Structure 1
Amino acid sequence: MVRQVALLESYCAVNGWAYEVISDIGSGLNYRKRGLKALVSRICSGEVGRLVLSHKDRLLRFGSELVLSLCEYFGVEVIVINASEDSTFEEDLASQ
């Protein structure tokens, strides 16, 4: 996770964007995580203009489409840095 945060911070800094890292430790199947709740609340209240992810499946293991749909509805730009990589979550964990 440290590597992912460093990647996100570098990407945002290079692009000159102000940012806040919201992260949760735990299962990607848990929809009750504090960071996820805060993110959804901020998206719906118009506080988020851009969502930058290292990988799409880092948002949620399953159900990321719901958050991405909220982003689309509320006009939030979504950037997935490693969108073209074919590695799975399990492969990424094994490589760390």
Structure 2
Amino acid sequence: MEKLFRMNEAAKILGVTVKTLQRWDHSGKVTFVRTPKGQRRLPESEINRLIGNDADKESEKNLVIYARVSSHEQKTKGDLQRQIDFIKRNIDLNSYRQVTVIEDVGSGLNDKRKGLVKIMKLAEAGLITDLAIRYRDRLTRFGFDYLETYFESYQVTLHILDDQTDEKPPQEELVDDLIAIITSFSGKLYGIRSHKNKMVEEKVKEVLEDVANLPNETADHSTT
């Protein structure tokens, strides 16, 4: 009897997301079978067929490795390079004709990051076939599904190599993102270089850092 794979197992083997597999199913690119309980399973023959198709096109595949950190301090500490190194260790670079590394230093809420915009233009021009990131939130903090759909519309396969959270604590990342939002708005009101804008930025940073540290302080009090 032919071996059948669960959706998440098949996605891991093929190096795509579960959502991508679901879209392939709806478009007829893959053929799933149903268990008696109605659950979708991908036959081993289908996986081999897809892998075979990919092998035939290896010489045409171009990969972009994308990494992002929120601040120059993180880049200085090596967080950006660690993302890149992790991706290179966990993807078969020999499968691609060309591998390009694109990086950003900026908030995940900023949808006009130079690196992200560059990748989108490459996708539109048909110059890349694959995009690899370590974490989902490196691409964007919100609206990930929209970007995934966007890249798939240009036949760009998205590879997420680590489902765990980033090395920086979530509270700190959110503080950075919130500061970026408020700084942007206050900059428009008072001018980016104005003294008043700098005061707003520092005050907001102070308050948000206090909020981020609150869980730790609460935990310390509970143990005393």
SS across alignment from 2:168: helix
Q: Which residue of 2 aligns with 1:48?
A: 128
Superposed displacement of residue 28, structure 1: 0.7
* Higher radius of gyration, 1 or 2: 2
Superposed displacement of residue 15, structure 1: 4.1
The TM-score normalised by the length of structure 2 is 0.37
Counterpart AA for 1:8: I
Paired residues in the alignment total 88
Counterpart AA for 2:90: Y
SS across alignment from 1:20: strand
- 2:137 is the alignment partner of 1:57: yes
CA contact under 8 A between 1:53 and 1:59: conserved in structure 2? yes
The TM-score normalised by the length of structure 1 is 0.79
Superposed displacement of residue 66, structure 1: 2.1
Query: Aligned partners of 2:144, 2:124: CA distance in 1, in Å?
Result: 15
Query: Aligned partners of 1:42, 1:71: CA distance in 2, in Å?
Result: 10
**Residues 14-29 of structure 1 aligned to structure 2 (within 5 Å):** 14-16=92-94, 17=96, 18-29=98-109
- 2:154 is the alignment partner of 1:79: no
SS across alignment from 2:159: strand
Superposed displacement of residue 19, structure 1: 1.3
Q: Which residue of 2 aligns with 1:93?
A: 168
Counterpart AA for 1:27: S
- 2:87 is the alignment partner of 1:8: yes
CA contact under 8 A between 1:44 and 1:70: conserved in structure 2? no
Query: Aligned partners of 2:137, 2:122: CA distance in 1, in Å?
Result: 20
Q: Which has the higher helix share?
A: 2
CA contact under 8 A between 1:40 and 1:67: conserved in structure 2? no
Query: Which blocks of at least 5 consecutive residues in structure 2 are unaligned?
Result: 1-79, 170-224
- 2:119 is the alignment partner of 1:39: yes
The CA RMSD measured in Å over matched residues stands at 1.6
Q: Which has the higher strand share?
A: 2
Query: Aligned partners of 2:140, 2:130: CA distance in 1, in Å?
Result: 17
Superposed displacement of residue 58, structure 1: 0.7
CA contact under 8 A between 2:93 and 2:99: conserved in structure 1? no
